[in-house]
Structure 1
Amino acid sequence: MTSITDNGKKAEEVASGIPPWHAQLFIGSLLAISVQNLPSRASLDQVATIEALTAPVLPNVFSLKSLGIVRLSIAASIWIVMFFIAVISDGWKIHTVYKPQTKLKKSVIHMKGIRTFFPFTSWSWILLGLYFSINGYIALTVEAGAPEKIQPWMLRAASILFEISAPFALLVSAVIRYAIWPAVLKSGKPHALDSFRNQMMHNMNAVYALSEMALLGGPAMNFSHISLPCFVGCCYILFAWSAAHFLGKAGTTPGPQYQYFFLDTTLGKATTISLAVLLVVLMTFFAFFVGISALVNLSGGNLILNSLAVILVSSLVCKVKA
């Protein structure tokens, strides 16, 4: 016999985790708008130049060679951490935390192997690693006197990756500090938010992005390119919806599971409202990073002021321990 919930829905429908139609419509519409407004190749070529990507913010501190070395060193640290958690380590366990009105069953999910690539944190971390890898290569190639080896797609990719990964880094750190930490601590469930892996991916990500922008030589941030992070954000939502049952199979309780309580698809209108709030937060952080970048440019390459900017913003979004 099919059981009926308080909302009059069949139990198997409640357990499906399928997003409500209005949430699907919202993400679909936003994705279409983002795609239509992605920057053209011509507009990217105007800003993604060798000069823009290799000019140090502090020329008296960083030469072009040291700029490339620092960028590649940061990239190496990112790839080492990702390789360790995906290949060498046993991963980690997530004790899912949902709102009281959820229809999902709480579970303990073993994030191991390919599942370590599922969190938005990992997406942001990988995008940041790609940026530092490509732009480090560009800097050292120019320094070696071989700019002809740099393909146009590399310049465009470096510019796009920074505009996406830099605000994402701040977003991840802020969400972890102001949303995930309080929810996890309130639940009383075991966690490893203060582990080395999390310190790197939740704190150093923001420090890396801010340092590139204020101390090294990040590309210009263009507010007109706000469709870029929106597009990637929509892609991640679609991915999270698609991976819900795969995550559920790795947990202690059957049924769809979400790593983040604000992606819960069983909350009715609250599901779509949460997605809209996430969109606003995403756009806010992009605008925030654009503003910080503009202020740093006004400093005229002052080492002390730029260092203080990195320290101040990092302290606002990073959390080291409970």
Structure 2
Amino acid sequence: MQSPNNANANANPSAKLPLSAAPPYHSILVLTAVSVFSLLTMPTLKDIDQVATIESLTTPLLPTYISPFGIGVIRFIFATFTLGIMIARILGPGMEINPTPSTKSQLKPWKLVLKGWKSITTFTWWSFLLLGLSFLALASISFLDAYDKRVPQWLLRFALLSFEISAPTGFLVSTVVKYALWPQSLKNKGPQGTNMFRSFFGLVTHNANVIMISIELCLLGGTPVCLEHMAVSPTIGVAYVLFTWFMMYRWVPHEKGPKFVYFFLDTTLGKDATIALLALVVVLFGFYLLFAILCKYILNSNAGSQEERSLLGNDAIVPRLLLVFGLSKLVCRFRN
């Protein structure tokens, strides 16, 4: 069902698109509130250093099955895979996407060729890149510690914070794709409309990401996600919303009117755009809270001594595998 605005636009093809789509004041207020909350509750370096230790980032959750060096190898494989996919994406032929605005939007469908640097400008790729860098940092720490080399404190901090940001963000990305973007494309364009999500890059960035995160949390080193650090989780999200507002007139410079890659960030939606922002914030904080609870009370990955590290036990591989499967099943999608 079309809105009056869309109906009028279709009836009069020469009708001009709105030349201005300034973010609604309530969207700005939401973004400002989240930013202020993050700044006021941001952990200090002392707080971070209490958790970002070699022990907390390298001790195996399942020492019977894997060694600290083995954790480093798997993390390095994850990092190589993730960053390799990024490079292949940038150097590849690119692809054309056809974002379809919401029926309530004042905008029309449009085309965008994602090639070169533009190919990694979606939030999915921002999240995927950070995850790859996080695994690279974690792998480096494991290898340095295995060979008795000094581990820089900045590397410990980056490894911890980047994982605390990329873990809930990765699950947010896959949730939005599974429950919003994929169904909307299927509804508006049919099976052909989901080709992007069913492509190699789409399946990897929306499914492999959460599988790797779940494996790290439940089976490998259990990089801790601390409730006290929740303020760091929305940093990349806030940055991307600002990037979206900055790029709205720059995606296709030769055309007039704003453009949005994600239909729910379309500022012409008014209050619906703000509701979408609030929903994204709630989902993001929800996943962060879930991981913090798992780490502290179930996986106990940031506890002090080895005996306290796991409520499931050092040999409880089956429950951990089931947890990996459950977390992945919650947000993964492979077909229409």
TM-score of the superposed pair, with normalisation by structure 2: 0.87
Partner-residue secondary structure (3-state), 2:251: helix
Structure 1 unpaired stretches of 5+: none
2:29 and 2:179 mapped to 1: Cα distance? 29
Counterpart for residue 112 of structure 1 = 115
2:69 equivalent to 1:68: no
Question: Stretches of 4+ moved more than 6 A in 1?
Answer: none
Query: How many aligned residue pairs are there?
Result: 309
Contact residue 15 and residue 103 of structure 1 kept, 8 A: no
Amino acid at match of 1:50: I
2:326 and 2:26 mapped to 1: Cα distance? 39
Contact residue 18 and residue 257 of structure 2 kept, 8 A: no
Listed one character per residue, the Cα deviations across residues 81-106 of structure 1 (whole Å, up to 9, x for unaligned) are 0001111x122222112211101221
1:176 and 1:21 mapped to 2: Cα distance? 27
Contact residue 15 and residue 104 of structure 1 kept, 8 A: no
1:96 and 1:13 mapped to 2: Cα distance? 16
Counterpart for residue 58 of structure 1 = 62
Report the alpha carbon displacement of residue 157 of structure 1 after superposing the two structures with TM: 0.6
Contact residue 68 and residue 140 of structure 1 kept, 8 A: yes
2:113 and 2:130 mapped to 1: Cα distance? 24
Counterpart for residue 174 of structure 1 = 175
Counterpart for residue 276 of structure 1 = 278
1:173 and 1:167 mapped to 2: Cα distance? 10
Report the alpha carbon displacement of residue 13 of structure 1 after superposing the two structures with TM: 8.6
1:116 and 1:258 mapped to 2: Cα distance? 15
Bigger mean CA deviation after superposition, 49-58 or 110-119:
110-119
Q: Percent identity?
A: 35
2:93 equivalent to 1:90: yes
Partner-residue secondary structure (3-state), 1:246: coil
2:166 equivalent to 1:152: no
Counterpart for residue 318 of structure 1 = 332
Contact residue 249 and residue 255 of structure 1 kept, 8 A: no
Amino acid at match of 1:255: G
Amino acid at match of 1:195: S
Listed one character per residue, the Cα deviations across residues 149-185 of structure 1 (whole Å, up to 9, x for unaligned) are x111111111101111111111111111111110010
Listed one character per residue, the Cα deviations across residues 215-273 of structure 1 (whole Å, up to 9, x for unaligned) are 111322111211111222211111111122222338xx543211111101001222222
Report the alpha carbon displacement of residue 74 of structure 1 after superposing the two structures with TM: 0.6
RMSD value over aligned CA atoms?
1.8
Bigger mean CA deviation after superposition, 215-224 or 178-187:
215-224
Once the two structures are superposed, the pairs formed by residues 1-322 of structure 1 within 5 Å of their partners are 14-87=18-91, 89-146=92-149, 148=150, 150-188=151-189, 190=193, 191-249=195-253, 254-293=256-295, 294-297=297-300, 298-301=311-314, 302-322=316-336
Structure 2 unpaired stretches of 5+: 7-14, 301-310
Partner-residue secondary structure (3-state), 1:287: helix
2:293 and 2:174 mapped to 1: Cα distance? 18
Partner-residue secondary structure (3-state), 1:266: helix
Contact residue 35 and residue 231 of structure 1 kept, 8 A: no
1:315 and 1:249 mapped to 2: Cα distance? 40
2:39 and 2:18 mapped to 1: Cα distance? 32
Contact residue 211 and residue 328 of structure 2 kept, 8 A: yes
